[in-house]
């Protein structure tokens, strides 16, 4: 019987996959470092932070079959670690370590940027859809950003609820709204920011609570300069980061005036890796980080998603569950959070 000879690959071809796999692993680790530590501190890292993160896993499509054919198990281990880095810290996967999603809660809140409900003659998110979301989710509070509906339009579908609508900020509440403090936006808008920072107090069953509904400035203008390869892209990104830094400082000071259990909700226009977020907002608990599961992307571009809408809470609260509802239209998704008062 003729002996079957196993196909041998050139030794250099086999060795190269090992070096390439290790180099790729180090490259992915560098991407993670840039996003996690330098986003909103150095403009190229900011571009990485707001860009499509899944793309850093694309080389695996070629490298894994190559390593399998070459039978280089160490290379496969390196590629496996790289895959974990892409899926978890870079793309932002979260686990719900608390586990019990059926646990009792005191408050269910929704934050949702409805993205300019009216755009020309097109209605992107209609009030009936909001009522359906409110009823199906059995929410207690609904906070909207970029909301162009006036109070009369909301009242037609929410006649049994407490309502507030002003300057792109809309609130629907099962509880009485006892106080509204809207910060003057002129100073922030003069710098080029958004400036929507509104504080509300509600008479909830377990006492008065305070919620800040905000919509902070977007990075879009700077990113568009980068995509267009403008000579002024770096300056535009740095200027944008400066405005967003000032706006967050103003918003934190406004929120700190609350003397009752506090929530801060809305479109922050920044992910948790942002240096601005870490400096000004990390002192508060992040609902999806605490009790969400999955990627929790709340804003979608054509080819990727990112989590820039948040529900933050102070020491008076603990998080029970956080989910993103994909059923409503628009480029944002509603973030639904269950919270329990500690006191």
Residue 121 scores a pLDDT above 50: no
Please provide the average confidence, as pLDDT, over all residues in the chain: 91
Higher local confidence (pLDDT), 95 or 38: 38
Position 96 scores a pLDDT of: 80
Position 119 scores a pLDDT of: 46
- Of 173, 180, 170, the residue nearest 147 (C-alpha): 170
pLDDT in tens, 137-186: 999 999 999 999 999 999 999 999 999 999 999 999 999 999 999 999 99
pTM (predicted TM-score):
0.91
Position 275 scores a pLDDT of: 98
Fold designation for 107-341? Deoxyribonuclease I; Chain A (3.60.10)
User: Could you give the residue range(s) of every CATH 3.60.10.10 domain in the chain?
Assistant: 107-341
Higher local confidence (pLDDT), 4 or 238: 238
Integer-rounded Cα radius of gyration of the chain = 24
CA–CA–CA angle 209, 112, 35 (5° rounding):
100
Q: How far apart are CA 77 and CA 60, in angstroms?
A: 12
Categorize the per-residue pLDDT at 117 as very low, low, confident or very high, splitting at 50, 70 and 90.
very low
pLDDT in tens, 174-231: 999 999 999 999 999 999 999 999 999 999 999 999 999 999 999 999 999 998 988 8
Residue 3 scores a pLDDT above 50: yes
Please provide the DSSP assignment of 265-293 as one string: EEE-SS-TT-HHHHHHTTTSEEHHHHHB-
Residue 342 scores a pLDDT above 60: yes
Segment of 70-74, 148-152, 311-315 carrying the highest mean pLDDT: 311-315
3-state secondary structure of 137: helix
DSSP3 helix / strand / coil % (the chain, rounded to 5): 40, 25, 35
Query: Which one-letter DSSP state was computed for residue 188?
Result: H
């Amino acid at each position: 019987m003729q002996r079957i000879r196993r196909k041998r690959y050139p030794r250099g071809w086999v060795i190269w996959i090992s070096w390439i796999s290790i180099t790729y692993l180090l490259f992915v680790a560098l991407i993670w470092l840039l996003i996690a530590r330098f986003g909103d501190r150095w403009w190229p890292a900011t571009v990485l932070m707001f860009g499509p993160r899944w793309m850093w896993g694309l080389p695996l499509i070629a490298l894994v079959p190559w390593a399998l054919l070459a039978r280089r198990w160490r290379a496969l281990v390196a590629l496996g670690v790289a895959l974990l880095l892409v899926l978890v810290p870079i793309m932002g996967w979260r686990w719900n370590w608390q586990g019990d999603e059926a646990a009792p809660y005191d408050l269910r809140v929704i934050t949702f940027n409805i993205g300019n409900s009216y755009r020309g003659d097109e209605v992107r998110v209609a009030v009936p859809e909001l009522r359906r979301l409110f009823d199906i989710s059995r929410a207690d509070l609904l906070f909207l950003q970029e909301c162009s509906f006036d109070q009369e339009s909301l009242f037609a579908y929410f006649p049994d609820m407490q309502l507030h609508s002003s300057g792109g900020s809309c609130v629907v509440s099962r509880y009485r709204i006892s106080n509204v403090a809207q910060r003057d936006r002129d100073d922030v808008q003069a710098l080029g920011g958004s400036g929507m920072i509104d504080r509300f107090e509600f008479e909830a069953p377990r006492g008065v609570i305070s919620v800040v509904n905000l919509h902070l400035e977007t990075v879009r203008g700077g990113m568009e300069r980068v995509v267009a390869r403008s000579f002024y892209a770096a300056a535009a990104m740095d200027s944008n980061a400066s405005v967003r830094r000032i706006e967050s400082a103003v918003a934190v000071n406004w929120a700190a005036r609350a003397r009752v259990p506090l929530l801060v909700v809305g479109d922050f226009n920044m992910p948790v890796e942002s240096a601005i977020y870490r400096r000004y907002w990390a002192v508060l608990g992040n609902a999806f980080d605490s009790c969400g599961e999955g990627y929790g992307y709340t804003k979608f571009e054509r080819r990727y998603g990112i989590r820039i809408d948040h529900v933050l809470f102070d020491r008076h609260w603990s998080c029970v569950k956080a989910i993103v509802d994909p059923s409503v239209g628009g480029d944002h998704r509603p973030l639904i959070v269950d919270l329990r008062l500690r006191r």
